[in-house]
Structure 1
Amino acid sequence: MTRSWPSLRWASAGVAVVFLVPLGACSVLGFGGVSVSHQELDGEWSDAAVPGTVSELAWEWTAEGYTGDLGVTALPGGVLLRMSHGVVALDGVTGEEQWSFVVQDEDVPVRTDVPSSGERVHVLYPEEAPGEESGGTDGDDSAGVPGRRVVLDGVTGEIVGDLEEEFTGDIEELGAFDLGTATDAGLFELGSEPLLSGRMLSDEDGSELWRTEDLFTCDGGSVDRADRPAVFPEALVVRAECGTDVTELVALDPEDGEVLWNLEGAGARPSADSVRAVGDLLALDQGGDGYWGEEFAEAVVLDPVTGEVVGDAAGTGEDWYPARTFGNGFLVSRRESGADAVGYELRRFDGQVSGTAAQAVETSSPGAYVIALEDAVVKFADSGDGGPMVSVAPWDGGEPFDVDVPESTDVALPSGTRQPEGRFEAVPGVVVLVDLSGAEGEGVKVLGFGE
């Protein structure tokens, strides 16, 4: 199969290197003047759920010579690799390629959008490479650049929609007003000021399914900015900042646009810097309290369908500090004076402790590259002399242990507790880690850790 990077391969850890062989028909097509390589699913996905813990490196997937960015997103049967020139779907259990959609011209940037279910994958790209003569590329930012939105079935990789798009700037920098948002019900778009409208389009043919006007009140003012919505199967939550210094949240039913609930306030609980889906719940980024020079922000969690507050990390106490919010609770951490290791607790949203893994993981960044699974907390850490490793601390007193990773493994550690999106995620079958050790031209790896 032809790729815009030299070669791809996956390897069964500790067993053998196997060069990737296309499993299904691969075609090179022209979409709006750009050639793409498209491979649909030929076979079946492994039947697997998100693991309760991990114990070994199950597989490695490598893109040799690749120099672009790479992130991962869960699919119903595994993981989607979001690359600068397209997408590749891997089976979570085996690491084998299931389907792919790749733009052949490496100078054409690609952007990917996936709803929370992973049932649809939207791939967006301009019809011409930057710098080529077309509207808007010669200094006229007001003129749009023609592009495509190709919609793929997240399970089979089949193309279910091919829609025209118009990009008014760098595709990687466009925001909520510039691009629609992929949902299970279709393509959601925010309309114009002053109070914004919203509409849902079919992601198959672009027809309008529903429209609603004046999403926000803004106390008689107008909307200054809006975030990309947080998407759930049964709700679509939009956050906006009004010119009156008030923040509003509005939740819509994706099927018909009905307003499910709305909140507004200036400095009150509804105010937030951003909104994020954590499993089936909505986390509000509110600036939060910090320690060790780090910051935790998602202290309040809402039910996205009802707007009810289901969790509040305020008042954690006893020297425990929130590290990260998950769909199954708040992960809190504590470091004893002079100790090198961090202990974790998983606290349900009702405040009850559901698991403790005390003084188990050596790390300088408690909230980054960490996942709270059902049976253990899993953390990537670079312990200096010990080298990079994945540390596993079972809940409720189980003996902690380390899973070896390749010695060259490197990640982009953030300055605070913010988890890098798409770099360390739990998906059906495995926990996946993006290894950037070869990002300077030697390639990039994705590592899959399983039970």
Structure 2
Amino acid sequence: MEVSALPRGVLVRTSQGAVALDGVTGEERWSFTVEDEDVRVLTDVSSTGERVHVMYPKEVPDEGFEDTEDEHVAKVAWRRVVLDGVSGEIVGDFEETIAADVEKPGPFNVGVAGDGGVFHLEGSDLLFGAMLSTEDGSELWRTDDLFSCEGSHVNTADRPVVFSDAVVVKAGCDSGQAELISLDVVNGEVLWHLEGEDAEFLTPESRSLRGMGGLLPVYHDRGPMYQDEEFSELRVFDPVTGEVVGDESGVDGLDWYLARTVEDGFLVSRRAPGESTVGYELRRFDGRSLTTGGQAVPTGSAGSYVLALEDAVVKLEPKDPETPVSVTPWDGGEPYRIDLLEPVEVAGYFQGRQPKGQFEAVPGAVVLVDLSDSQGEGVKVIGLR
């Protein structure tokens, strides 16, 4: 189970569909579920949260089906239902052909959800893409040969990131280089393209792009200190103009550690050797900064389960028997702790990353997914106001 932000609350993704909750009260606003427990359900959310896409197969291939041709897999008809993120109203409903055994959306197997379209990245030597209507699945535009690869071919690709005004795709070439391209959502025209020397900072491996509000953080290799970190990128782009709005200069200074890249800046931490506490500073892209001052935050991991909110840093400590949540205001305010009603179980602790969709800030609340019942009755969603 995962949670993600909607314009007025939180979307809970379940194995059978999606449920939208009010961020303040926790009350259910709408839901879409598939009654057949044997059907695999995928849920994708547009970058703004305005559209929620729920997909599930309309048919199951025969058990004895085997495709013997290389690079071919069984494909079946799936239903894609597009919902309004606020009201839950169905605004699109159409059929797509998707691999029968897909577990999670990848670069090529499932189209990426947008507010006004579904973007499909399709395989070829230099890749091409197509935008489909969210209303009926009809093709809106198509573009060929997205990349140049300096005479070689595309070897890997990230899952595209669809913003309100742009689609961004990154590819790794056989030559060992990588390229980054941004397309206009409306017509597919190229907005900007990084290649050659301008793209040397990129890693050819996949999984280095994400959407963060209206910005595009891009991961690049910074050595063993950060090799297992996720969401700690040192370069952030405007996806429409290609302008770099944040870069390495925002995280300079001795003993500073990049904990997380957030919507308005870099959250950095500082911890003395041998100490179990850490202070945080939010270095905003516009040059301003916020700090916890002399107030340290008890922690076992500086970058895991930490959220930089407008007024404070919120940190979850799964190692504590009572699983408290610490809240440390900016500008030196006294920290305080929130003790949960009962211990909870979370995943991925001390793995150098915060599990996606398990500890998130949404409008009106901070939401935590409790996995303590994951082998029994299910999971719990806990909201902290």
**TM-score over 0.5 for the alignment?**
yes
Deviations 1:295-349 (A, max 9, x none): 4651111111111111123552221110100011101111123322111111112
Aligned to 1:362: 298
Deviations 1:229-273 (A, max 9, x none): 122212111111112211111001111111110112477224464
For CA contacts below 8 A with separation 6 or more, give which structure has more relative contact order.
1
Aligned to 1:269: 201
1:253 and 1:337 map into 2 onto residues whose CA distance is 48
**Contact kept in structure 2, 1:199 and 1:209, CA below 8 Å:** yes
* Matched pairs, number: 376
**Contact kept in structure 2, 1:324 and 1:417, CA below 8 Å:** no
**Aligned partner of 2:221: which letter?**
G
**Aligned: 1:150 with 2:105:** no
Aligned to 2:222: 288
1:215 and 1:242 map into 2 onto residues whose CA distance is 12
SS in 2 for 1:176: coil
Query: C-alpha displacement at 1:135, in angstroms?
Result: 4.9
Match of 1:243 among 174, 177, 193: 174
Q: Give the TM-score normalised by structure 1.
A: 0.78
**Aligned: 1:419 with 2:346:** no
Tell me: CA distance 1:137–1:335, structure 2 relative to 1, closer, same or farther (3 Å). Answer: farther
Aligned to 2:284: 348
Deviations 1:263-304 (A, max 9, x none): 124772244641111222111111334549964651111111
**Aligned partner of 2:201: which letter?**
R
Match of 2:191 among 260, 272, 278: 260
Match of 1:320 among 252, 256, 263: 256
Q: For 1:43-58, list aligned pairs within 5 A.
A: none
SS in 2 for 1:382: coil
Aligned to 1:114: 45
2:297 and 2:226 map into 1 onto residues whose CA distance is 16
Aligned to 1:446: 381
Q: For 1:9-20, list aligned pairs within 5 A.
A: none
2:228 and 2:276 map into 1 onto residues whose CA distance is 17
Aligned to 1:433: 368
**Aligned: 1:218 with 2:149:** yes
**Contact kept in structure 2, 1:369 and 1:379, CA below 8 Å:** yes
SS in 2 for 1:396: helix
Q: For structure 2, which runs of at least 5 residues remain unmatched after alignment?
A: none
Q: For structure 1, which runs of at least 5 residues remain unmatched after alignment?
A: 1-69
SS in 2 for 1:402: strand
Greater fraction strand: 1
Aligned to 1:390: 325
SS in 2 for 1:433: strand
Aligned to 1:330: 266
Match of 1:139 among 54, 57, 66: 66
Moved more, 422-431 or 223-232: 223-232
SS in 1 for 2:290: strand
1:115 and 1:286 map into 2 onto residues whose CA distance is 24
Moved more, 239-248 or 352-361: 352-361
1:313 and 1:358 map into 2 onto residues whose CA distance is 25
**Aligned partner of 2:10: which letter?**
V
**Aligned partner of 1:263: which letter?**
L
Tell me: CA distance 1:256–1:375, structure 2 relative to 1, closer, same or farther (3 Å). Answer: same
Name the % identity: 57
SS in 2 for 1:195: coil
**Contact kept in structure 2, 1:127 and 1:147, CA below 8 Å:** yes
**Aligned partner of 1:139: which letter?**
E
2:228 and 2:179 map into 1 onto residues whose CA distance is 27
SS in 2 for 1:391: strand
**Aligned partner of 2:252: which letter?**
T
**Aligned partner of 1:422: which letter?**
G
**Aligned: 1:190 with 2:88:** no
1:248 and 1:238 map into 2 onto residues whose CA distance is 8
**Contact kept in structure 2, 1:135 and 1:144, CA below 8 Å:** no
